[in-house]
Structure 1
Amino acid sequence: MLLVGLAVPLAIAANREIKAVKSTAVSNGLEVVDGLSRLRVEFVRADIVRVQYQPDGQLTDNGTDVCVAHRKRTLPLTYSDDLWSVSSDSMTVCIDAATGAVSYYDLHHRLLLREHPRCPRSAEKVWQEKITYDETSRRTAHTANGDVAVMDVLRRDTIGSTFRYRTYFDWTATEALYGLGSHMENYMNLRGKKMYLCQHNLKAMVPVLNSTAGYGLLFDAGCAMVYNDVADSSYVEMEAARQIDYYFIKGRNMDQVVEGYRWLTGQSPMMPRYLFGYTQSKERYCSSQELLDIVGEYRKRQIPLDMIVQDWNYWPAGQWGRMMMDPKYYPNKRMLADSLHAMNCRLMVSIWPNAQHCPQYDDFNSRGWILPGSSVYDAYRADARSLYWDYANREFFSNGFDAWWCDSSEPIDGDWNNPVHPDYGYDNHFERWQINTKVLSDVLGAERSQSYSLYHAMGIYKHQRQTTDSKRVVNLTRSSYAGQQRYATITWNGDTYASWKTFAQMIPAGLNFMATGCPYWTVDVGAFFVGPDRWNRWFYKGEYPDGCNDPAYRELYTRMFQYATFLPMLRSHGTDTPREVWRFGNPGEPFYESIVNHIRLRYSLLPYIYSMAAKVSNESYTMTRALAFDFVGDSAVYDLKDEFMFGPAFLVAPMTRPLMAYGKASRQVYLPQTKGGWYDYWTGIRIEGGQTIDAPAPIDHSPLYVRGGSIVPMTAPQQYADEHPDAPYIIKVYPGADATFTIYEDAGDGYDCERKGYVTYTLHWDDSHRQLSISARKGSYKKMVKRRQLTFVMPDGYQQTVVYDGKKAIVTLTANN
């Protein structure tokens, strides 16, 4: 089979300036033509501008399916007399008549962003290739990422051209930038950095930037990219695209930028309540009986659990990646699912895009739906996505399985499978980008080399939605792209190795990913690779060969668990050593007790977390968030890599150094200035903001603070998320400033929530009068809880209980003497 491959240089038209005689008004914007080249600046919403440029004048977009369709309407705009600027009721866009540089201003004519005034963009024409593979050379390589098909390249044929583009930006000295996805490179604020953007086991590329200056950028192309803000040259480079195509999103704050991004690319659907409990996984459970025994042990120990995961290699021997469970070890799939459901536990299963040596592969191959040089199915084809779903549905979903783990959705890694030089390692970012851009471009085509995961997720989501409305889609996947959040995906950070260094890198990687507008991200608690391997591979560098029997690893695992308690999904997973709670000690021992207590804390916080999940879906909120979201005026938070907010209330400061080596059970924590100050969650002691403190960090817990002026709805921990739908709530009120929190409730699963099948009621704290008002309940759903006990608790221990029946009420909370 043949496909467009990696783009290579043809001719250079770098630093090409537009020397236009005039600008022309077009629908909702301006257009500038210089010879063949064409620049179009178009409002798609009053606060969102699309910029397109093509040196040959053909504005055809890049064919990515990143953005969702919106009905085009004429916006009320004001054009300058010379037609070099245009304004909406939100902002003004100006084009430099000499160079074509685009600048963006707010209504007070404050500069938000501008392209470089002398050199705004460049275009370099590059060849595209078709790759012909030698089918007779097909062989299987056994790798840490499973079995992969390998073939030799027979020839490369030049078949046309595309462009490598750079858009140069003149960012302001004081702004911070976040986003671009999840990359294990230890960057928080992206100013002054260079990042090579591609899909990889340890890299999930999302080409979105979110600025503290009040705007965001979405680059709508499917190719590899480079972000550069070093050496006096700031640009975003697209390696193979038909045209420059980016969106400028104005926002009063970073949350509003996320709203604009999701308006462009699609909202994140409501996740089921069970997802926000605890998920137990490892590489791997080997039979139905083992899955049942593990869940039974959790129930026996009364440790909360909502989902267990079946990882790979459940298929018959020699049929790698086949969506079929070996009946020798999994004799009855329906009975397995039913038995887990009887214990109130859901089941997630790992599925792969690259089946081999089995009837499933033969079926796809006979239809021509395998990507060249691989065994990966062609997810860009709607009919191939439909066939893939048929296999997944027949084997799993129709038998009661609940959730998907779409592993290896890049879907190819060039340096995970092949030998590289001895000095190659985690920090070889440019070389990693080169290797993986090449292999992805060879197989997928350079113009779409990074977007496979978007289409793979699309197929799962759309077909499950067509199959039933009673079960919400959950798709844990290793890769991501702009727009993928609309397909109910959670991305994790890949197969990391266990060390304190990599643990610390996970925190900014996740915060940058979620700053793009993709809200759901998680990690393998404990990291995937725990010990080193015998082949000394660059990625397999775990520092704990004795695994969970090593007290040093138990400490790292416990600290990672404390951190992950405040991620959108709490999940343990990895190879080399078991991951169940009881592997880390016995009841009464510190590691065991800390892990169990954090699981119980997670379940206590479910009313708070689930209400935030609704806010994610209905208000484009970000649950786990960089401090700059909430404290944009405080530049001290811009590059803090090891603190973040969990919703509006909690400041989380994970402990990322070992007590055994560090010898000090505390860490420095910066508390931003805020009117109500901060409360130590563990002690209730109030602390002023605007200072760095030495915060206690015993092995029991990491530092955790609550912003004064917060309302946190909680409940008693349950064994699973839906055990007691009518359980009383404990409403913790942290005074110091007025506060508002809206509680959301629904059935917990199914899509009635999209048809107004939910209720909300708002709690408002009036700090000066020490009164908490409860609004009248809005909405309804089947089997809704009509009466609920609410106990309001103050940090000083004062509490008062009411029974809420949906009617407006006011409660006065006086302090203890």
Structure 2
Amino acid sequence: MKIIRKYKIAIGLIVGFLLTSCTATQYTKMEDGFILDFKQNSSKEAKKIRIQVLGEELIHVSATSELMFPKDSSLIIVPEIPTVPFTIDEVADTIVLTTSKLKVLVSKENGGVKFKDTDGNLILAEKAGGGKTFTPIEVDGTSGFTTRQIFDSPKDEAFYGLGQHQADEFNYKGKSEELYQYNTKVSVPFIVSNKNYGLLWDSYSLSRFGDSRPYEQLNAIFKLYDKNGEEGSLTGTYTSSDKDVQTLVRKEPTIFFEDIKSIKNLPQGFPLKNAEIFYEGDIEANETGVYKFILYYAGYMKVYMNNELIVPERWRTAWNPNSFKYTLNLEAGKRVPLRIEWKPDGGTSYCGLRVRKPQPSDEKNNQVWWSEMDKKMDYYFMHGNSMDEVIKGYRTLTGKSQIMPKWAMGYWQSRERYNTQDEILGVLKEFRERKIPIDNIVLDWNHWEEDQWGSHEFDKKRFPDPKGMVDSIHAMNGKMMISIWPKFYQNTEHFKEFDEKGWMYQQAIKDSIRDWVGPGYIGSFYDPYSTGARKLFWEQIYEHYYPLNIDAWWMDASEPNVRDCTDMDYRKSLQGPTALGSSTEFFNTYALMNAEAIYNGQREVETNKRVFLLTRSGFAGSQRYSTATWSGDIGTRWEDMKAQISAGLNFAVSGIPYWTMDIGGFCVEDRYVTAQLNFDNTGNENVDYKEWRELNTRWNQFGAFAPLYRAHGQFPFREPWEIAPKGHPAYASILYYTNLRYRLMPYIYTMAGKTYFDDYTIMRPLIMDFSKDKKVENIGDQFMFGPSIMVCPVYEYEERNRSVYFPEGANWYNFYTGAEIKGGQKLNVDAPYDRIPLYVREGSIIPIGPDIEYTDEKLADTIVLYVYKGQNGSFTLYEDEGVNYNYEKGNFSNIPITYNNNENTLTIGQRTGEFKGMLKNRKFVIKTVSKENPNAFNYKAEGQTVAYNGELITIQLN
């Protein structure tokens, strides 16, 4: 797979050369588009605009403020795009490029670009004047530009995508997001609009969407008053439950203790452990308008403004803080009380509150892109009749999503961590003895000797027979994924191999940074921007891990996270310079390059075994490397669970279909740990343990309908029997949804096939399938799991009902009862402890497979087809060998199934295609659900039974 795409633009391709009569603008035709040259009024303006046609509805726009475009290259645009016919015309002061489906209009006066459909309807327009700004920047002796692009955005527009973030925001219209990689934060510079277009911003540096400005300190925006009314600062009061620690009061001009550098501004010598801290006083704005705040917190935090609770209590572990955003309308000259209540998490903790003043009119509510360092400005526009078509355009540019191995669609069990060989084997054995379905068990970090991170060798005392361990997992019909990091201790041979070639980042070594293991060890991360380094990384893995027949690779800390909680400038120092240039320029693409190393490496040595990568970070194009992403080390709170719904949906719209999370959350509140320990000692289910069990129950109910179903976290353990004993409703519910996941395997694996063949998205915000219903544009807590099942997670403690919106355009059936619900209404529905609200869209056909404990236990020789009447429906059952790449060669089958609502017939069409091991004969049991016959979902459904041998058959339904 090519990493850098080079456009073929040469003087020999010039077809014509024209000068306008009224300006100094000239344009040059090319084989794939044209270039416009401008006389600049300012060095910050564009001097050249280039339009390239990559498809009927795919356009590449480039701009530079220099005399020549730099050599074209991209880390994310990989395929060679076929030539597409187009025409170029001059209409007054505009150059009009026309394809069969699109018009691109560029002003000869200022280079402003507009996109219209062939009927002349405006789709997207750059801000009047072009909206482009170039500001020179130089880093590490390399010159570039800080770029900004503004597009007009109508009031009724909505934006989705940008990767996965934790502020629980869904529709980004009128909002903003800083795009960088960090634990729990995965930035993908791609948005999809409800206007059925997408925009891919081709920049790898720190970027911003929606607002080009950084957040500022409180004292830079407001007049501050302490709690006594004295101007200049807030009041900080530091108290402790330790009787030997005296209360401390001091002035606080800022609330900024967000990293290992700024945390030193906290009172030196005052212990944060057992502390309670209050920041209070008044703020006064000098401008009326909307102010946008960002709260940074570790430990427990609340925020009151104007004597109202603006931010209810939030928590995050000390070493992995989180951000939360909120807005407030403020009046110029009016003092507003502010109070922050903070209980730090242990001896080290972080907090901060920063703000943006009202946004300038040229950016407000528009589509804004800003990047710290680029060689030029690049973006890609794609259009279609639906969001699916837009995402198809994105994958045309950045690469197909591979079909994951079928076993990956099953249940995964993990914990931080299985400490011994006996432990991991014992857990899998217990799954099998309890007949709980599972496919994959995971070995997390630190399976090596304590001081040998990066050696890829097992600690022989704890893992005496690694090959035997993996063989035993396979003998129990399981798969194993292992944690590999791009991190190497300085004393390992692997570090030395990289270092002698100049492929290790040096800043952490120079600064003698010690990690958190044992006494702390010095190491650093390798540089995957070097082709040789990527090959060496794979060679080391191949030599040490691959002979064990491990099934999948867990690529942790791939942001890269060289050190937790550092300021942005130091983070750049720790992860560069790269082989391609400054880490400022290549700040966000580490995970992409790292994934390429493993994907290409494995496909070269074993061409027909599906690669599976799980990575904590990602970027545009990650999907082409058979990569899934999980949401990082999130917290174990209800608000964290809720945030994963919108995070997962926006990640899905970002074009990368495989996403998962730590079910139950990774970082655990002390109260849950204490509750577990006390329960072990007493057997009593105290209030905290009761909540822990319900949290995990609700999270599993949601997680069963994520693209990948995976439990992981710190103690308490996440195996079902560790959460609750057999007979407890938590245990029963988790098993119900695990079994349901496996019974839905024909449906789920068909969606996996569609991600490759149809560029499909598995986890779907309602806006994807009900775009005509304006009410779904801001619904980020319900989603479609494939074409048929609407999932409505419950994310509040002791809630036994929730509000559900049923989109227009279809009626719906209650999954559990079969009762019909009219579309286009909001209802408060039941949500008992053991069940998540699930609904099926009328016209759906859902295939239900056999009772299995792992995905390849048996072939689906009998499939129950649930047919939900009310509209015509269709479903094409996809099957292949499940573990290899023969599908790329055409070795797969499709069985089309259609329902005719007027004729009340179901047609199972002729099977197309074949593959080794294909089941040629099977039975279909047809179960119908209708308003008149509201049949509940039942594994043992009885209905019309038909034998199928691959030939078309039509059934008149009862």
Quickly name the TM-score band, shorter chain normalised: 0.7 to 0.9
Equivalence map 1:37-48=2 (5 Å): 37-48=47-58
Change (3 A) 1:201 1:778: same
Q: Structure 1: how far apart are the matches of 2:562 and 2:692? A: 28
Q: Which residue does 1:408 correspond to in 2?
A: 557
Q: Which residue does 1:57 correspond to in 2?
A: 67
Q: Which residue does 1:546 correspond to in 2?
A: 675
Kept in 2, the 8 Å contact 1:498–1:543? The answer is no
State yes or no: 1:809 paired with 2:953: yes
Give, in angstroms, the shift of residue 412 of structure 1: 2.4
Q: 2:180 aligns with which of 180, 194, 198?
A: 198
CA deviation map 1:158-188 (0-9, x unaligned):
x132100000110121121101100111110
State yes or no: 1:454 paired with 2:611: no
Q: 1:605 aligns with which of 744, 750, 755?
A: 744
Q: 2:545 aligns with which of 393, 396, 405?
A: 396
Q: Match for 1:758: what amino acid?
A: F
Equivalence map 1:562-711=2 (5 Å): 562-659=701-798, 664-675=799-810, 677-711=811-845
Q: Which residue does 2:355 correspond to in 1?
A: none
Give, in angstroms, the shift of residue 572 of structure 1: 0.3
Kept in 2, the 8 Å contact 1:477–1:489? The answer is yes
What is the identity percentage for the equivalent residue pairs of Structure 1 and Structure 2? 34
User: Counterpart of 1:740 in 2: which secondary structure?
Assistant: strand
Q: Which residue does 1:133 correspond to in 2?
A: none
Q: Structure 2: how far apart are the matches of 1:435 and 1:502? A: 28
Q: Match for 2:658: what amino acid?
A: Y
Q: Structure 2: how far apart are the matches of 1:382 and 1:442? A: 15
Q: Match for 1:49: what amino acid?
A: I
User: Counterpart of 2:120 in 1: which secondary structure?
Assistant: coil
Q: Structure 1: how far apart are the matches of 2:124 and 2:67? A: 25
Q: Structure 1: how far apart are the matches of 2:152 and 2:672? A: 43
State yes or no: 1:278 paired with 2:411: yes
Give, in angstroms, the shift of residue 350 of structure 1: 0.2
Q: Structure 2: how far apart are the matches of 1:544 and 1:253? A: 47
State yes or no: 1:335 paired with 2:345: no
Q: Structure 2: how far apart are the matches of 1:72 and 1:705? A: 42
Equivalence map 1:260-271=2 (5 Å): 260-271=393-404
Q: Structure 1: how far apart are the matches of 2:37 and 2:162? A: 31
Change (3 A) 1:250 1:435: farther
Q: Match for 1:167: what amino acid?
A: Q
Give, in angstroms, the shift of residue 595 of structure 1: 0.4
User: Counterpart of 2:34 in 1: which secondary structure?
Assistant: strand
User: Counterpart of 2:594 in 1: which secondary structure?
Assistant: helix
Give, in angstroms, the shift of residue 74 of structure 1: 5.3
Q: Match for 1:778: what amino acid?
A: T
* Structure 2, unaligned runs of 5 or more: 1-21, 41-46, 212-358, 509-523, 680-688, 936-941
Q: Which residue does 2:944 correspond to in 1?
A: 800
User: Counterpart of 2:913 in 1: which secondary structure?
Assistant: strand
Change (3 A) 1:243 1:543: farther
Q: 2:142 aligns with which of 145, 155, 160?
A: 160
CA deviation map 1:38-75 (0-9, x unaligned):
11112111111100001003323664420113155252
Change (3 A) 1:486 1:786: same
Q: Which residue does 1:25 correspond to in 2?
A: 29
CA deviation map 1:270-303 (0-9, x unaligned):
1111000000000000122111111110000000
Q: Structure 1: how far apart are the matches of 2:910 and 2:592? A: 41
State yes or no: 1:99 paired with 2:119: no
Q: Structure 2: how far apart are the matches of 1:273 and 1:19? A: 61
Q: 1:124 aligns with which of 135, 145, 151?
A: 135
Between Structure 1 and Structure 2, how many residues are aligned? 740
Q: 2:696 aligns with which of 557, 568, 575?
A: 557
Give, in angstroms, the shift of residue 674 of structure 1: 2.1
Q: Match for 2:385: what amino acid?
A: R
Q: Which residue does 2:868 correspond to in 1?
A: 734
Q: Structure 2: how far apart are the matches of 1:516 and 1:637? A: 18
Give, in angstroms, the shift of residue 437 of structure 1: 5.8
State yes or no: 1:73 paired with 2:83: yes
CA deviation map 1:348-400 (0-9, x unaligned):
00000011031111221122211231411111112211111122122222211
Kept in 2, the 8 Å contact 1:20–1:32? The answer is no
Give, in angstroms, the shift of residue 28 of structure 1: 3.0
**TM-score, normalised relative to structure 2:** 0.75
Q: Match for 1:30: what amino acid?
A: F
Give, in angstroms, the shift of residue 29 of structure 1: 2.3
Change (3 A) 1:434 1:366: closer
Change (3 A) 1:285 1:544: closer
CA deviation map 1:765-794 (0-9, x unaligned):
001111010111111111111111111111
State yes or no: 1:189 paired with 2:168: no
Structure 1 residues 451-460 or 793-802, which shifts more?
793-802
Kept in 2, the 8 Å contact 1:61–1:242? The answer is no
* Structure 1, unaligned runs of 5 or more: 1-17, 130-158, 419-431, 533-541
Structure 1 residues 189-198 or 25-34, which shifts more?
25-34
Q: Match for 1:698: what amino acid?
A: P
Structure 1 residues 613-622 or 381-390, which shifts more?
381-390
**TM-score, normalised relative to structure 1:** 0.88
Q: Which residue does 1:140 correspond to in 2?
A: none
Q: Structure 1: how far apart are the matches of 2:82 and 2:750? A: 33
Structure 1 residues 63-72 or 552-561, which shifts more?
63-72
State yes or no: 1:207 paired with 2:189: yes
Kept in 2, the 8 Å contact 1:62–1:243? The answer is no
Q: Match for 1:706: what amino acid?
A: V
Q: Which residue does 2:321 correspond to in 1?
A: none
Q: Structure 2: how far apart are the matches of 1:515 and 1:658? A: 29
Equivalence map 1:300-449=2 (5 Å): 300-356=433-489, 357-374=491-508, 375-412=524-561, 416-418=564-566, 436=571, 440=575, 445-449=583-587
Kept in 2, the 8 Å contact 1:223–1:448? The answer is yes
User: Counterpart of 1:779 in 2: which secondary structure?
Assistant: coil
Q: Which residue does 1:743 correspond to in 2?
A: 877
State yes or no: 1:87 paired with 2:104: no
Structure 1 residues 684-693 or 576-585, which shifts more?
576-585
Kept in 2, the 8 Å contact 1:62–1:245? The answer is no
Q: Which residue does 1:179 correspond to in 2?
A: 161
Equivalence map 1:283-294=2 (5 Å): 283-294=416-427
Q: Structure 1: how far apart are the matches of 2:817 and 2:703? A: 21
Q: Match for 1:804: what amino acid?
A: Y
Structure 1 residues 60-69 or 759-768, which shifts more?
60-69
Give, in angstroms, the shift of residue 545 of structure 1: 4.4
Structure 1 residues 231-240 or 193-202, which shifts more?
231-240
Kept in 1, the 8 Å contact 2:55–2:83? The answer is no
Q: Structure 1: how far apart are the matches of 2:382 and 2:461? A: 55
Change (3 A) 1:544 1:501: farther
Give, in angstroms, the shift of residue 336 of structure 1: 1.3
Q: Which residue does 1:516 correspond to in 2?
A: 654
Kept in 2, the 8 Å contact 1:746–1:757? The answer is yes
User: Counterpart of 2:716 in 1: which secondary structure?
Assistant: coil
User: Counterpart of 1:282 in 2: which secondary structure?
Assistant: coil
Asked which structure has the greater RCO (Cα within 8 Å, sep 6+), the reply is 1
Q: 1:249 aligns with which of 360, 364, 382?
A: 382
Q: Structure 1: how far apart are the matches of 2:73 and 2:555? A: 24
Q: Match for 2:547: what amino acid?
A: S
Q: Structure 1: how far apart are the matches of 2:178 and 2:597? A: 28
